Chains A and B, each alone.
Chain A
Amino acid sequence: MTTGFVFALAGAALFALGVAGVVLIGHLLRRILAFNLMGSGACLVLVGLAQRHDVADPVPQAMVLTGIVVAVAATALALALVRKLHALTGQLELPDDADD
């Protein structure tokens, strides 16, 4: 069980935790937190699996670097939208669809 495997498994669990959070939590700010957990989990899987035999691999490292920067931009845009929604309607959860 090398370092890469340990963190790849942890990344898979984090990703599942994040997806469950995005699906089940209604509060938008917490959903953004869960989305970031998903992103971190996916990055861990990318790098951990590539290095599962303990040799550093620069290609997935470069991809994860790009991914982290794009994730922060997505988080900032999501936060701007949540703030605008709160300014316009005072709600912090998306309205439920009416049960048919």
Chain B
Amino acid sequence: MKRIVVVALVVTLALAFVFLLSGAMLELEPAAIDLRAPVSAHLADSGVSHPVTAVLLNYRGYDTLLEIAVLLLALLAILAVVGDTAATRPVAAHPVLQTLGRLATPLMVVVAVYLLWTGAFRPGGAFQAGAVLAAAAVLLHLVGLLPGWSTPRLRLRIGLAAGFALFLAVAAALLKQGSLLQYPPEAAGALILLIEAGLTVSLALILAGLFLFLAREEGA
């Protein structure tokens, strides 16, 4: 009986929320702060020509720096939860699936590198490239060619932390000659590409690790 009352209350509140919010949204005036004009005005100095990449890695580079730190923290928390079990042997799938996995992986690596490079001019960038690489790693694990990851040793640890460390190093080096993450306009493009490359590698390892560090626990 009490459950029905709770359900009815929550549903009523949710419907009221939707109606009120819809009414408020339909009566919004134009925004007082519109950042489109400043973004495109300074796009030539930002080092890239795609506005979203410029916002992510130049105007709001600080947010991206903290975002990669948050991802690293989530991975560390997952490692803490899972604990210290041994790696299981990979379960080989059907040979046709394995061949498809072997064929698809080099293509996915090429697509990822292309996405990383083209992020400066067109939609793309480090996050999409890292996600495609992580998907390739998950695909290889599912067909049995890549075992699940046990507690990371030095090489994997360096790879996981490299993106964040590189970004932090660039930010610290720039701190000497201006404020945090204020790229000099002539070097901005190269610095952004460097940071994005480090982010891609780290992001691929972190996102793949979100899946692969959990994938071993079932065997033992």
What residues make up the interface of A, taking CB atoms closer than 8 Å to B?
5, 8-9, 12-13, 16-17, 19-20, 23-24, 45, 49-50, 52-53, 55, 57-59, 61-63, 65-66, 69-70, 72-74, 76-77, 79-81, 83-84, 87
Contacts of A52 in B (CB 8 A): 25, 28
**Binding site secondary structure of chain B:** helix
CB distance B210 to A72 under 8 Å? yes
Binds A, one of B62-70, B110-118, B146-154: B62-70
Q: Which chain A residue shows the least CB distance to B34?
A: A57
Known: A9-B25, A20-B11. A58 touches B211 (CB 8 A): no
Q: Is B82 an interface residue (CB 8 A)?
A: yes
Interface size class of B (residues with CB under 8 A): 35 or more
Q: Which 3 A-B pairs have the closest CB atoms?
A: A73-B74, A58-B51, A76-B210
Known: A9-B22, A80-B214, A84-B81. A70 touches B14 (CB 8 A): no
- The A/B interface has a contact count, at CB < 8 Å, of 98
Known: A49-B28, A66-B64. A13 touches B10 (CB 8 A): no
Q: In whole Å, how far is A69's beta carbon from the nearest beta carbon of chain B?
A: 6
A70-B28 Cα distance, complex, nearest whole Å = 29
Query: Apart from A61-B55, A80-B77, what 13 extra A-B contacts exist at CB < 8 Å?
Result: A5-B26, A8-B25, A17-B14, A49-B28, A53-B30, A59-B35, A59-B39, A69-B127, A70-B70, A73-B206, A76-B214, A79-B214, A80-B82
